[in-house]
Structure formats: structure tokens, C-alpha cells
Amino acid sequence: MKKILLAGGLFFSLLHPVLAQHQDIPERPGIWKGKNIKSTDSTSLLYAFRSGTAHGHIRYYFMATDNRAGLTDYFANAAGGGLRYETGRFKGFQAGISGFFIFNIGSSDFTKNDSLTNQPSRYELGLFDVEDGHNKYDLDRLEELFIKYNFRKSHIEFGKILINTPLINLQDGRMRPSGVEGLWFDINELKNTRFEGGFLYGFSPRGTVKWYQGGKSIGVFPQGLNPDGTPSNYLNNIKSAGTAVLGIHYNPNPILKIQVWDYYIENVLNTAMLQTDFTFQLKNKSKLFTGMQFIRQDAINNGGNADPSKTYVRRGNKSMTIGGTFGWKDKNWETSLNYNHITAHGRYLFPREWGRDPFYTFLPRERSEGFGNVHALVGKVNYFAPKIGIKASLGGGYIHMPDAKNASLNKYGMPSYGQINADVRYAFNGFLRGFDIQLLVVGKIKAGETYNNPRYEFNKVNMMLYNLVFNFHF
């Protein structure tokens, strides 16, 4: 909390020459220092701060894992709150700041690993500080501190911000989302075309309380194995000046949407993505939709470190993925069948600290990052009832993985599995307006060989995961 207070104090101390004289400014039009001035003068810096917006958020999260008999089960209770303030515009400029604090209000002992596998909690610890299982009190983070310039339909911002792109995103399935630091633009000056991107040099992954230089953020989460089967050791060993991102959205008509993205992690990895989505209107006001996605990755130089045991991507490594979706939707229902294949050329890699998978087959609480030669088939059904505030979804599928012992294509020793997700959300109205609740239940079933090794099961398959979340936004 000290960091948030310090940053907030610095932020507002810059305004001291103006704010220190607040008591001298009449609430109604009058005289201030010998000049006529209106307190509603929209051209003043003071007006920009007085016309700013504030948002508060209180969150409670219960999470529990039920592994098979003989393996450790973990649970967590987390509660926290935060504030965000953004000024109004002053000659096109805005500034903003936000912070959040978390309390561990009764959870498993995260300093104790499972006795059979010597592995820690995989999911619950992410509600707090993944780098320190002892940390129950210093769980606060400065999340945003930025300045933004708005022009026409576009803007440019610099500082600590929150963004959502296919590969670098909030991944906010814990107490707080992931944040980034750098320069970001969003340009909307051409008809049917939008450009976004920038240069990012800092990251604060979900489940952490720190900000890291780009290369040092890679490896904060579990590192898995090198292709030769030895433990990966790239934490604090990756050299990179930062990540350049460019995204182009082209929507020439209501039927077609095209996205092109490129993520260039300097000295480490380049990832290029193309996605096309089609929507066809039917006579009964429902729609058919389909889409295709292609991703190509190539290692840059030594992948971050000349020592193969300390690098993130081996020299010469490449990977490709191809996926598709087909579905139907109306105002209340949406159903789809989704497929994704990661080829056997190599592992699909992208820092887990920065975002979740962009695949059509993605289901919360599991990923395909770190694997090659994967086939995933997933069905999804969503129900929306906005008038009564209900959203519900059911998803399930089969993910065929390379053999769990094949480290060259299976970074985390994950066997093939089936997964089922049930997610129900309700937003309250009336007296409890501002509150919402979510229940997410995840089941993962072993569908591949585990060689009687509990390390291939613990927190991976033959397990249930329960999530109950309450939010209050004000």
C-alpha cells in the first residue's frame, strides 16, 4: 500500500500550485486573484481535474482445487479493493492513476508443497503473490499511472496501462489483471480500419505485486522443461530491450472482419497472427459465423540468451498453429464448434506472464502454450439474458497432447485430457445494483498416459477446480 500512496502523493503533488489554492476559489462565478473566473471554465486545468471520473472496485474470490486421492488439495479466500481516477480532457490531454490492495483472509499454507510431487499450488497462489507464498500482507500494486493524448477518434498513451490484445492481455481470472508499461496508440482515422500497438518495456503479471523489466518478467511463472528434458532456467536470464506490437483491424463490411498482428520481442521471438471472421445474417434475425486463424513464430538470435540452458526459445525454433470456428447465434444463444492444431515443427511459445492463448478453443484454467503437435476440439454454448442480468456458458472438449515425456514438444509434462467448464454470472439490479457474482466450475479428466507419475496428474488432470467471485463496482 505504501507504493500506491507514494505514487498517488507524487501524482497529486505535481498539481500542488493549483490545488493548494482550492479554498480561494469560489464555488460560484466570482473574483479570484483580481480576475473574473468561472469554476466551470472548461479551458482550465482545474476544470479537467474537477470533471474527472473515479471508479471503485471491491472483490472477493474463493478458489479450491480437488485433486485425486493422495494428492494435496488447496483452497484460498481473497478480498481486496481499489480505486481508479482519470481526469477530464485539457487541450486533448488526460492523466490517470489506479491501485489495488489484497488481503489473504484464510487460505491453505502455500509454503508447503505437495508431498508426492514437491509441487506448489498452481491456481490458488495466483490470487496473491506467486513469488512469495509467505506474503499475506504486502499485497498491493500500483496498476495504472499514465498520460493520454486524444485527437479526433484516436489516442496515444504512455505509462503503466491495461490493454487487451490477442496475445498480451489482462488474463483477469484471478484477483487482478496483468498490466503493461510503455507507449501505446489506438488510431481510428481511416474508414473501416483501426491501428493499435506500441512499444512495451515493463510488465506486471497477474498474481504478482511488482513491475518487471520486459525480459525479467519472463519466467516469473513456472518455467517447465527445456527441449532436452532438463529444467528451464531462463528467469532473470533473458536479455531484451522490449516488445514492439502492431495490430491492424480491417472491417470492410458487416460480414467480414480481418485482424493482422505482429509481436516482436527483441532478441527473443517474433509472433505473427492472421485471423478472419465472417458473419452471415439469417432471415430469423439469427446469424451464422465462422472464422480462421493462423499463427507463425520464429526465434530471434539465441532466443534471449546464448546459453541454451538459460534461453527462452532455442535458436532456429519455429512453430505454427491453425484454427477455425463455426457457429450460430441469436440475441440469447450462441453455440460453436472450434478446432486448433499446433504443428509438430516446434513448441508454440509466448510468455504466460503476459497473456492467455488467443485460440478459438481456449477454455479458462488451461492453455496450449508450451506445446507442439497438439489437436484441440472444443464445443461451446453461451446463454445471455441481459434483461435479468444472467450470462451462462458451457464448454467442453478433447485436447490431444504429445506424450508427457516428450519434452521437445511438451514443456510442462501435460498428458492428453478432456475438459469441461460451467460458468454462470449474475449482475444484480435495484438495491444491489453494482454487485455481480460468478461461479466457474472446471473439470479435467486424464485421456493420455501418465506412467503412474503423480507429477503428470497433480493440478493437471483428474481434478476439479471451483471458483466463486463477488464484485462490487461503484
Write the DSSP string, 85-150. EE---BTTEEEEEEEEEEEE-S---TTSPPTTT----SSGGGGS-TT-TT-SS--EEEEEEEEEEE
CB half-sphere exposure, 368, CA atoms < 13 A: 34
Q: How confident is the model at residue 43 (pLDDT cuts 50, 70, 90)?
A: confident
| Beta-carbon contacts of residue 422 (< 8 Å; ≥ 6 apart) | 393, 394, 439, 440, 441
DSSP codes joined into one string, 217-253: HTTSS---B-TTSSBP--TTT---S-EEEEEEEE--S
Q: Which of 40-54, 187-201, 332-346, 402-416 has the lowest mean pLDDT?
A: 40-54
In this predicted structure, the answer to whether residue 425 has a pLDDT above a threshold of 50 is yes
Write out pLDDT tens, residues 89-137: 999 999 999 999 999 999 999 999 999 999 999 999 999 999 999 998 8
40 is written with which cell numbers?
Answer: 466551470
269-278: string of b/e by CB count within 10 Å (b at 16+)?
A: bbbebebbbe
Domains and CATH numbers, the chain: 1-39 (no CATH), 52-473 (2.40.160.10)
d(CA 288, CA 285): 10
In this predicted structure, the answer to whether residue 11 has a pLDDT above a threshold of 90 is no
In this predicted structure, the answer to whether residue 12 has a pLDDT above a threshold of 80 is no
pTM for the full predicted model: 0.90
pLDDT at 42: 77
116-125: string of b/e by CB count within 10 Å (b at 16+)?
A: ebebbbbbbb
pLDDT at 137: 85
Burial tier of 448 (Cβ tally within 10 Å: 0-12, 13-18, 19+): middle
Q: Which of 417, 450, 470 is nearest to 57 (CA)?
A: 470
Angle formed at CA 372 by CA 370 and CA 373, multiple of 5 degrees: 150
Task: Give me the torsion for CA of 410, 411, 413, 418, rounded to 10°.
Answer: -60
Write out pLDDT tens, residues 282-321: 988 999 999 999 999 999 999 999 999 999 999 999 999 9
